[in-house]
Amino acid sequence: MILDGASPAAITQAVQAISAGQLLGLPTETVYGLAADAARPDAVARIFAAKGRPSNHPLIVHVVDAAGVAHFARDMPAFAERLMAAFWPGPLTLILPRRPDVGEATAGGQDSIGVRCPSHPVAQAVLQALALATPPVWGLAAPSANQFGRVSPTTAAHVAGEFGDSLLVLDGGPCGVGIESTIVDCTRGAPVLLRPGAISRAQVEAACGQRLQGDAALGEAPRASGTLEAHYAPAAKVRLMHAKALQTSLDLLGAEAAHIAVYARTPLRMLSSQVLLRRMPDDAQATAQQLFSALRDFDTQGVKLIWVESVPDTAEWDGVRDRLQRAAAA
């Protein structure tokens, strides 16, 4: 059931659902999440079951503000506090040492836990209302609201298509960022980038006053959401190609080409009317905002192959490149 996220009555229903241990489709600025009380193992178990997600693959806790972090994490380094001050609310997740008395199921059994403060007004309204509930709910575990490993949802309709009318979904409109948050590990004495996103490596380094370190230099990394080699995958097979290879492949197939979608910035010569062509924006931010929706649209139209023009090898494209490479690895 989709409800208008701007409606106070809908927020009340959402709070009631979470307080009862149920799941909620929650809009954020990145993607829509499948939310539950992060401190309730039974509610968190429902997330893993609904998504078909392994229970040792950790979830991210969404909190209303930086003060909410103390309910789930401890021993926060100074550079993590600087990152919160710079980017929260916003699309940045921090991996922090977990309090031993809370969130074990959400953390996938690890001693660390991921936390972020979303900026979407509907997410904020829900989190604020939950903090005032009796008893209060201090954080929502909310991975992307889709089957594990598949394309993340960026509209309420995407979520309803995944889980049906039995799930309460708050409609907050299309997600403004469109790809998941940047993840920075703060558990090993220095910041480590685990997943790129809308907030760039350079922005993180400037805000925390330290260079990001590589995983190998600091020992084993904690497990984190969205970092498996194959992820974000549509049903159709994704292949990344440079524009010249794309054109050569289309020319070889000629008028017989079918069941193929092409997502590219470069103008291409199309010899078959049965090939779906969608232009990729020249801007990385605009591409991120529409990427998952485009992949879902191609699946809906029944293509078997999705050929995507490789994105520029520059920092602003890191988040999009990461999602496409993982989608192509599936």
Predicted local confidence at residue 330, as pLDDT: 83
Predicted local confidence at residue 226, as pLDDT: 67
Q: Find the range with the poorest average confidence among 58-62, 111-115, 145-149, 152-156.
A: 145-149
pTM over 0.85: yes
Please give the structure tokens belonging to residue 36.
């539950």
Assign a CATH topology to domain 237-329: Rossmann fold (3.40.50)
Angle at 19 between CA 17 and CA 25, to 5 degrees: 40
Q: What percent of the chain has pLDDT over 90?
A: 87
Who's near 162: CB < 8 A, 6+ residues apart? 145, 146, 147, 153
Q: Is 11 exposed, middle or buried (0-12, 13-18, 19+ CB in 10 A)?
A: buried
Predicted local confidence at residue 134, as pLDDT: 93
Please give the structure tokens belonging to residue 238.
């994704």
Predicted local confidence at residue 252, as pLDDT: 95
Tell which wins on pLDDT, 220 or 39: 39
Range list for CATH 3.40.50.11030 in the chain: 237-329
Predicted local confidence at residue 220, as pLDDT: 67
Whether the CB-CB separation of 1 and 25 falls below 8 Å is answered with no
Give the span between the Cα atoms of 303 and 307, in whole angstroms.
11
- The mean pLDDT value of the chain amounts to 94
Range list for CATH 3.90.870.10 in the chain: 2-218
Average pLDDT, integer, range 176-180: 97
Give the span between the Cα atoms of 197 and 179, in whole angstroms.
7
CATH 3.90.870.10 for domain 2-218, yes or no, is yes
Predicted local confidence at residue 234, as pLDDT: 94
Q: What is the pLDDT of residues 137-161, one digit of tens each?
A: 999 999 999 999 899 999 999 999 9
Who's near 313: CB < 8 A, 6+ residues apart? 321
Whether the CB-CB separation of 91 and 181 falls below 8 Å is answered with yes
Nearest to 130 by CA among 139, 121, 122: 139
CA distances from 251 to 107, 243, 256 (A): 49, 12, 10
Predicted local confidence at residue 200, as pLDDT: 93
How would you list the strands of the sheet with 92-97, edge to edge? 2-4, 168-171, 24-26, 33-37, 140-141, 60-62, 112-116, 92-97, 182-185, 192-195
Predicted local confidence at residue 231, as pLDDT: 81
Highest averaged pLDDT of the listed ranges 19-23, 212-216, 255-259: 19-23
Q: What is the pLDDT of residues 87-108, one digit of tens each?
A: 999 999 999 999 999 999 999 9
Q: What is the pLDDT of residues 271-299, one digit of tens each?
A: 999 999 999 999 999 999 999 999 999 99
Predicted local confidence at residue 224, as pLDDT: 74
Predicted local confidence at residue 58, as pLDDT: 94
Count of beta carbons in the 10 Å neighbourhood of residue 241: 17
Q: What is the pLDDT of residues 188-247, one digit of tens each?
A: 889 999 999 999 999 999 999 889 887 655 666 667 776 677 788 899 999 999 999 999
Give the span between the Cα atoms of 71 and 50, in whole angstroms.
26
How would you list the strands of the sheet with 237-241, edge to edge? 237-241, 305-309, 260-264, 275-279
pLDDT of 183 over the 70 cut? yes
Predicted local confidence at residue 149, as pLDDT: 85
